[in-house]
Amino acid sequence: MSQVLTGLACLNRQAIQFGNEKQLEVIVMSAITARIIRAVSNGAWSICRRINKIVPDGNLPNPSWASGRLLKARERKPMAAGVPRKTLSLCPDCNRQALTAVVEGHEDIATFRQHPGVLDADILEEGGRILMRKVCAKHGPFEDALSNHPEFFRRIEHLAFGADFECTNDREVHNHGPNSIKAGRGTHLIVDLTNRCNMKCSPCYMDANAATYVHELTMEDIEAIFANALSYKPQREINVLFSGGEATLSPLFLQAIRHAKRMGFHRLHVATNGITFAEDRDFAFLAKAAGLHAVYLQLDGISEKKNAHRRLGNYMEVKHRALENITAAGLRATLQVTVINNHNNDGLGDIVRFAVANIDAIHGIVFQPIMFSGRDQSVSPDERYARRYPVSQIAFDLKEQTCFGWEPMRDWFPASAYSTFAHLCDVLNPSAKLGSLFTDTHPDHAIFSALLVDREKAEAIPVTTFFNLEQFMKDIVEIADSARSPATTRALVGLAALRNIDRRRTPSGFGLADLRLLLQDCFYRVAGNGENWSQASNENNGRWRLLFINTVQFQDLNIYDLATISNASTPVATQDGEIAFSTYNAAGWRAIVESEHRTASLPEWYKTNPRHKIHSNGRIVQLSETARTAKTQLFQIEVEPTLVTAGGATERS
């Protein structure tokens, strides 16, 4: 997309301080000048639209990686949306009984596959909340909250992009009855290398260190998993996320990375608690050399108090050391935060501030509301209600806890909306061997907001403060669907960018050339591969960086929606095919796969393997002193409690 904004001139500007020290300075431009620029760009856009409508639309390409022509907006299957609506769910008790029958040998897997406890469910608004309500004839009623903000919920559903291609030739990969994945490319292919872990946390979606057996992939398993990933259409760019347990405990961790790299996967990540990276400075360098692109680092707050549930004696010291070592190796981290209502939800703003202050080390943040599975599947209804954190709440909590100027109804979008960029890349690159990274996660379960970070000042504002991202994405869809030549398409995208930027609100020092670089970054996140992709994707050393704040709700049995499972974008790659993360961890399939393919019982395992350390009950991780440089030294921030005034404004003590 290097030509998208070519020829756009930067404008003269004058800077002032935006009312709060944590926000970026914004440009003051005369109202007359700004109106002229906006009028000219909108006028040019209107003329181009009229011409575009006169000329018949072209046909979108039929790339080799897809099962047919690229889909126009009107051809996409809309995602299930609207309130009230009917859907299908699972009865938590019926599902657990069916699972127990298989594990104890009373039923076969085929029976569980077809009869996991399906029942009707209603999604409705009541008492200012969006609820899922269902009634089992045998076990009675179940109810839980999907959102505390109905208007926000409806807006996010309205902005969803639409479903992707249906999968073809995938019978051996997606064969899990009503829980089967049926469509989509997926964004993250999760590869659980081991069920062993060196911590014993609560919450834990898989109840690590509670099983009486070890389940660990062999190289043959790993090779088969990646062969399966390439065996069906759509063939796509995808983030590979090695996980567990704790993936770094697997003796095959580095070998698995090398194999994935050889197979053509370049977006290689690991989800980790960071202990191995903190203990051994060289480990990050070895992982980088093997082909690792980045790290998803678990962090639930910036103080020991906010992470007490992780039961590690020196939690923050471990996280800081891990981040420093990761950064020293030339890797970047995405912070992976489990959000628990009434525990750490009042410290989310501090995590964002920490990321902004350390933008050279931190690529993004993924907030994950607690999923009541694994160690937490049997909590009482009262405890579940108290700890439940709906996805929509993040937008309102971050507005209160930060002074970046966040506005929930302006600045947040469904994760699937980002697929407009992927769709444009696919249109512009019809000969690509792989489809772009296409996010079609259901809007009820994944949202994002983008911050523009000034690396020089460690300050940030939402991109949508000065750029109409909602309209820009609509413009992209219209441009792409008209199927014009690549040159015309690029020119129209450039014009759309120009008409959607408000030069009166852009940060001081931020010009149109900077906007072009940020758009290039957006497109590079979803398209492009090759041996040097990872290195090239981290080469933006300019003043401005994008920090994406994502919130992803994985479904437990109380809010399980089969209509959204069919195009789940985070499959777990197993010996029994690719299974939606929520299905694998909440709906019984982890227990099925691990018991069927267990490596050894614990006594058998420890006959030939040493016991790994489990850091729990306040145990300290012993860290050696290492030399630190200015490049790797992290900026520390103090926890700042949020005070909400009577008028609704926020202050810091």
Nearest CA-CA partner of 575 in 186, 200, 226, 276: 226
Q: For residue range 18-30, what is the model confidence (pLDDT) as tens digits?
A: 233 345 554 445 5
Distance CA 366, CA 86 (A): 29
Section 271-294 average pLDDT:
97
CA atoms within 13 A on the CB side of 434: 21
Cβ contact 250:219 at 8 Å: no
Of the candidate ranges 442-451, 461-470, 506-515, 575-584, the one whose mean pLDDT is the lowest: 506-515
Instruction: Give residue 318's pLDDT.
Output: 96
Sketch the domain layout of the chain as residue ranges. 79-417+443-462+533-594+612-653
pTM for this one? 0.91
pLDDT of residue 649: 40
pLDDT, average across residues 81-96: 98
Q: State the pLDDT at residue 104.
A: 94
**Per-position DSSP letters for 302-335, written without gaps between them:** SSTGGGGGG-BTTHHHHHHHHHHHHHHTT-EEEE
What is the rounded average pLDDT of the residues 222-239? Answer: 95
CATH number of the domain located at residue range(s) 79-417+443-462+533-594+612-653 in this protein = 3.20.20.70
Biggest CA–CA distance in the chain, Å, is 79
Structural tokens at position 583: 């299905």
pLDDT above 80 for 629: no
Residues 101 and 115 sit within 8 Å (Cβ to Cβ): no
Q: Which two tokens stand for residue 603?
A: 């006594």
pLDDT of residue 426: 95
294 CB contacts (<8 Å, ≥6 apart)?
269, 331, 332, 333, 334, 363, 534
Residue from 102, 142, 98 nearest 120 by CA: 142
Query: What contacts 244, CB < 8 A, 6 or more positions away?
Result: 192, 193, 194, 195, 196, 197, 208, 250, 271
Q: Check residues 439 and 35 and name the one with the higher pLDDT.
A: 439
Question: Which is higher by pLDDT, 548 or 511?
Answer: 548
Flag whether pLDDT at 443 surpasses 80.
yes
Confidence category of residue 132, pLDDT binned at 50, 70, 90: very high
pLDDT at residue 638 greater than cutoff 80? no
Distance CA 125, CA 486 (A): 45
pLDDT tens digit sequence for 351-406: 999 999 999 999 999 999 999 999 999 999 999 999 999 999 999 999 999 999 99
Per-chain mean pLDDT for the chain: 89
pLDDT at site 636: 65
Which whole number is the average pLDDT over 335-356? 97
Q: 155-203, pLDDT tens digit by residue?
A: 999 999 989 999 999 999 999 999 999 999 999 999 999 999 999 998 9
The Cα–Cα gap between 527 and 509 comes to 28
pLDDT exceeds cutoff 90 at 640: no
Residue 46 banded pLDDT, cuts 50, 70, 90: confident
Burial (0-12, 13-18, 19+ Cβ within 10 Å), 623: middle
pLDDT at 522: 86
Lowest mean pLDDT: which of 4-8, 99-103, 597-601, 624-628?
4-8
Q: 625 or 559: whose pLDDT is higher?
A: 559
Which pLDDT does position 376 carry in this prediction? 94
pLDDT of residue 20: 39
Give the per-residue pLDDT at 635. Answer: 67
637, pLDDT greater than 90: no
Strand 413-414 and strand 446-454: pairing?
A: antiparallel
